[in-house]
Structure 1
Amino acid sequence: MDINPRTLRYFLAVAEERHFRRAAERLYITSPALSQQIRQLESSLGVELFRRTSRSVDLTAHGIELMSLARAAVDANDAIVAWAENSTPSRARLRVGFMSTAAGDLTQRILQAARTQPLRLDIELHHLDWADQTRAVLDSRVDASFVREPATVEGLRFTTVLAEDRVAMLPSAHPLAHEDSIQFSDIADERFMPSATGTPEWVDYWLVNPRPDGRPILRGPAISSVEEMLENCAGGRGIAITAESVSKFYAHPQVRFVTVRDLSPNHVLLAVRNDDTREAVKNLEQLVSEIATSA
């Protein structure tokens, strides 16, 4: 049998994190996709690697034995890749910023394509908070960044990556939590959690402020991360509007996501500085545009 080094990386991430969602975030894939890869690995090997319960993920005896072998295989693969890279012309290194879900399901496709011929870009990822998504590009902490609307900033140019629905994050006990979709008016009187960081335009966009009918907004606790949003929502302290990919990359047993069908889609964009004319940056923009068009 042949075992792909990528699958072994997936195994090691789960083994180290002991948590499928955290491992999936680290790998920039969805939790269901990661679970499927692990099940396929177990099927190929004919052994159970993890003991799963509703509260924990633990390694079996076979899983413990595989860890050292998997690490050796991954390290050997990395050494071969490094040898090949050192034997060919150097890569152009770009620092790319991202927030919670980066470019969604296209993230790994973009990163993998950037590494291959003819581009041979070395992408160095940097996590940014909501307030830094464009500022980090402007002050040159990163060369480019995957950002979300609203992000109109003077001095930057943008390439559209994808559009996705906006969804309501609701506690699982909410009367509308199990609907396929809702109207915004169905939840307009709820208590909404505002962003604690970001521009006023950013905060208002996710609060849907001003409301179409002019009604006042009830505000819950201010939040600065998806994790804070999830826990406060689960505890009934407020609801939120967020992007559809958050429902794929994050999960909480007491939180549900419901499409809000009358809100306009949110767009993920690649932002770079207007005055950055480097070939590597232009190549990244072209790659993102091509992948976005074909997706």
Structure 2
Amino acid sequence: MDVESLRYVLTLAEELHFGRSARRHFLDAGAFSRRVQRLEHDLGARLFDRTSRRVTLTAAGERVVAHARTVLAALDRLPEVATARDGADGVLRVGVLGFGVADRWPALRDVVTAAAPGVRLVHAELDMDDQYDAVRRGDLDVGLVQHFGGVDGLDFRTVLRTPAVVVAPADSPLADAPALTADDVADQAWLRLSAAHPRFRDWIGPAGVGGSGTAIRHPAAIPTAVATTGLLGLHGAAAARFFPRPDVRFVPFDGPPVEVAVVTRAADCRPEVAAFREAATAVAS
């Protein structure tokens, strides 16, 4: 197994076409196909179903692709990790999932900068797969994440709770409903949301993890994916303000709310990091 073959698998998962995938890596289709087949042999599982008309990911392929994205992202960040100064320069690398703390950002920043004068915040985008691991590995100092419960080695401070909504196409029969229940959407077709964290599946509820298409990893992409596919998505109510589209509706849903938390490494006692924890508590109250 080699890193480059993992990259080929990710490309093929995006393109679902051997010819286009091979061209992206400047290979002929035969050589590209052999590399993918060799990786399947090494893993002992078929990652793609192939016919003369189409290529599709298998269930094993979906799992491998999700993990490969995390592995390759970590490898790509190694140069940055090697040269990081561990906050000695007053910089905090802050990863944000989706809308983060929504309209509480000014208050959060004010408390952090008052408690740690001179600190400089650097933004990084998180996705649903790496939102915890990026902090745990030390790639980031602080994360604004969707909280599903405790994780060993990490400290969580809840900042915001926002009700759940179903994101529906504007022309859907559900779009004008005053509110939706699990029974209302039980037989609907959903986007497939990436779900690296097992407890994420509990929050998804009726959407499950077996939806259609490529798994959505970034919350900001959900409304656009709904408009593109006509499928339903699940989000927090704050998304209606931060990711609005005229062709989708955000319908109140009786599922569990979205809970946003500040996450840091539990053993990280730097004053700048402690300031973020204090800010989370202050802003939440």
Q: Determine if contact 1:192/1:207 at 8 Å carries over to the other structure.
A: no
Q: CA deviation at 1:210?
A: 9.0
* In the alignment, structure 1 residue 258 sits paired with structure 2 residue 255: no
Q: What percent identity do the matched residue pairs reach? A: 24
Aligned counterpart for 2:168 among listed residues 154, 167, 170: 170
Aligned counterpart for 2:179 among listed residues 176, 181, 191: 181
Q: CA deviation at 1:141?
A: 0.8
Q: Determine if contact 1:163/1:266 at 8 Å carries over to the other structure.
A: yes
Q: Determine if contact 1:91/1:120 at 8 Å carries over to the other structure.
A: no
* In the alignment, structure 1 residue 153 sits paired with structure 2 residue 151: yes
SS at match of 2:260: strand
Deviations 1:38-60 (A, max 9, x none): xxxxxxxxxxxxxxxxxxxxxxx
Q: Determine if contact 2:157/2:263 at 8 Å carries over to the other structure.
A: yes
Residue in 1 aligned with 2:262? 270
* Letter of the structure 2 residue corresponding to residue 183 of structure 1: T
User: What is the TM-score normalised by the length of structure 2?
Assistant: 0.62
Q: Determine if contact 1:147/1:269 at 8 Å carries over to the other structure.
A: yes
* In the alignment, structure 1 residue 208 sits paired with structure 2 residue 205: yes
Which whole-Å CA distance do the structure 1 matches of 2:245 and 2:195 have between them?
23
Within a 5 Å distance, the mapping from 1:175-254 to structure 2 comes to: 175-196=173-194, 198-202=196-200, 204-208=201-205, 219-221=211-213, 222-226=215-219, 228-254=221-247
Q: 1:238 to 1:275 in 2, by over 3 A?
A: same
Deviations 1:210-229 (A, max 9, x none): 98xxxxx8622232334542
SS at match of 2:199: helix
Stretch of structure 1 that moved more, 269-278 or 147-156: 147-156
Q: CA deviation at 1:152?
A: 3.2
Which whole-Å CA distance do the structure 2 matches of 1:95 and 1:126 have between them?
7
Which whole-Å CA distance do the structure 1 matches of 2:175 and 2:199 have between them?
28
SS at match of 1:185: coil
Q: 1:179 to 1:104 in 2, by over 3 A?
A: same
Q: 1:162 to 1:188 in 2, by over 3 A?
A: same
* Letter of the structure 2 residue corresponding to residue 191 of structure 1: A
Q: Determine if contact 1:220/1:237 at 8 Å carries over to the other structure.
A: no
* Letter of the structure 1 residue corresponding to residue 284 of structure 2: A
Q: Determine if contact 1:196/1:224 at 8 Å carries over to the other structure.
A: yes
Residue in 2 aligned with 1:75? none
Q: 1:154 to 1:91 in 2, by over 3 A?
A: same
Q: 1:121 to 1:179 in 2, by over 3 A?
A: same
Q: CA deviation at 1:264?
A: 2.3
Which whole-Å CA distance do the structure 2 matches of 1:210 and 1:234 have between them?
17
Q: CA deviation at 1:91?
A: 7.7
* Letter of the structure 2 residue corresponding to residue 177 of structure 1: A
Which whole-Å CA distance do the structure 2 matches of 1:110 and 1:288 have between them?
7
Q: Determine if contact 2:203/2:256 at 8 Å carries over to the other structure.
A: no
Q: 1:209 to 1:199 in 2, by over 3 A?
A: farther
User: What is the TM-score normalised by the length of structure 1?
Assistant: 0.60
Aligned residues: 197
* Letter of the structure 2 residue corresponding to residue 246 of structure 1: A
